[in-house]
């Protein structure tokens, strides 16, 4: 077990990471070979993104989950290059390679399902988490073939940590353990509760329904309407900033990271949510999910109303 003095406050879990391969070409035509030198490879996955943003906010974390094959080795290398602490479980098969193909006329996405894994892999992830003795565990993203939401419940029930989830609405509706928080977007709020979400007030009502299902706090990203946070203390809403949106990829992960960083520092919910919205604002104004935009532009000294 890691010494408590060296334990990170947050461990993130990504069961189904991916290399995100983005390539831009000119117009495509059947039988025509398209050539390009505009391509990028990113280590992807909600938990990995959150770990990167937390690092940019000077909050210690460790990324864990499942990695396999040459694609898994690539992700480990990228995390090392970014100085993001990680402790992944090795599994047979290759980690996903997700492809985004952009042309002047359209954008095409091809997402792999990921390698098939079994329950033993979940137990090994729990062992890795226990080694780091975190205060909070964040589980995010999709599940690979062979696992169901029971894998997430197993992590929530395994230790004394608080568990936060960022999964799709169908999974939120099926999880059975008690969770410290969840982070749905507007569509996931509707999917998880069946309630309307057209207005901020309707989103608050849907968030309260989720809380009744076992989530102590609900942090909801509402796109152009900003974000809300519902808890025992009530609810707070922070509107979206006026910013030129370049890329929304990673915005929800950034919001959650900012809120988590605020909680780690002892902020009250309103200040934590404001920090989360500011982190997300930095990300949507920058192409890709680069955490450097957060480190350069978010000044955490601007926050600090302490929790009572």
For the chain, give the mean pLDDT. Answer: 89
pLDDT at 293: 57
| pLDDT tens column, 224-263 | 899 999 999 999 999 987 766 655 667 899 999 999 999 9
Cα 260 from Cα 1, distance rounded (Å): 24
| pLDDT tens column, 173-208 | 999 999 999 999 999 999 999 999 999 999 999 999
Cα 117 from Cα 89, distance rounded (Å): 11
- DSSP for the chain reads ---GGG--SEEEEESS-EEEEEEE-S---TTPPP--SEEEEEEE-HHHHHHHHHHHTT--EEEEEEE-HHHHHHHHHHHHHTT--B-PEE-SSPPEEEEEEE-SS-EEEE--------HHHHHHHHHHHHHH--SEEEEES---TT--THHHHHHHHHSSSEEEEE--HHHHHH--S-EEEE--BHHHHHHHH----SSHHHHHHHHHHHHHTTEEEEEEE-GGG-EEEEETTEEEEEPPP----S--TTHHHHHHHHHHHHHHTTB-HHHHHHHHHHHHHHHHTSSTT-THHHHHH--GGG--PBP-
Instruction: Look at residues 187, 157, 191 and name the one whose alpha carbon lies nearest to residue 173.
Output: 191
pLDDT at 262: 95
pLDDT at 102: 87
High-pLDDT (> 70) share of the chain, %: 88
| pLDDT tens column, 87-98 | 999 999 999 999
| pLDDT tens column, 139-180 | 999 999 999 999 999 999 998 999 999 999 999 999 999 999
Q: Please say if the pLDDT value at position 270 is more than 90.
A: yes
pLDDT at 297: 56
Instruction: Look at residues 236, 217, 232 and name the one whose alpha carbon lies nearest to residue 275.
Output: 236
Average pLDDT over residues 30-37: 89
Task: Tell me which residues are annotated as active site.
Answer: 253
């Amino acid at each position: 077990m890691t010494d408590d003095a060296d334990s990170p406050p947050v461990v993130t879990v990504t069961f189904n990471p991916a290399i995100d391969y983005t390539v831009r070409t000119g117009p495509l035509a059947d039988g025509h070979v398209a050539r390009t030198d505009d391509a990028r490879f990113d280590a992807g996955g909600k938990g990995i993104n959150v770990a990167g943003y937390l690092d940019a906010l000077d909050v210690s974390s460790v990324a864990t989950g499942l990695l396999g094959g040459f694609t898994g080795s690539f992700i480990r290398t990228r995390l090392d290059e970014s100085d993001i602490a990680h402790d992944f479980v090795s599994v047979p098969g290759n980690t996903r390679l997700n492809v985004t193909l952009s042309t002047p006329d359209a954008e095409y996405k091809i997402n792999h399902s990921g390698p098939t894994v079994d329950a033993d892999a979940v137990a090994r992830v729990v062992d890795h988490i226990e080694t780091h003795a975190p205060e909070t565990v964040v589980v995010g993203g999709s599940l690979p073939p062979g696992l169901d939401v029971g894998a997430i419940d197993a992590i929530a029930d395994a230790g004394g940590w608080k568990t936060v989830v960022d999964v799709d609405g169908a999974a939120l509706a099926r999880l059975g353990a008690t969770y410290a928080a969840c982070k749905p977007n507007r569509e996931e709020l509707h999917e998880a509760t069946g309630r309307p979400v057209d207005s901020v007030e309707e989103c608050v009502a849907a968030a309260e329904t989720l809380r009744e299902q076992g989530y102590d706090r609900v942090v909801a990203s509402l796109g152009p309407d900003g974000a809300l946070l519902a808890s025992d203390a009530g609810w707070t809403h922070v509107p979206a900033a006026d910013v030129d949106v370049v890329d929304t990829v990673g915005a929800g992960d950034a919001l959650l990271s900012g809120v988590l960083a605020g909680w780690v520092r002892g902020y009250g919910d309103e200040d934590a949510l404001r920090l989360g919205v500011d982190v997300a604002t930095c990300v949507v104004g920058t192409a890709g999910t680069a955490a450097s935009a957060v480190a350069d532009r978010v000044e955490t000294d601007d926050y600090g109303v302490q929790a009572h």
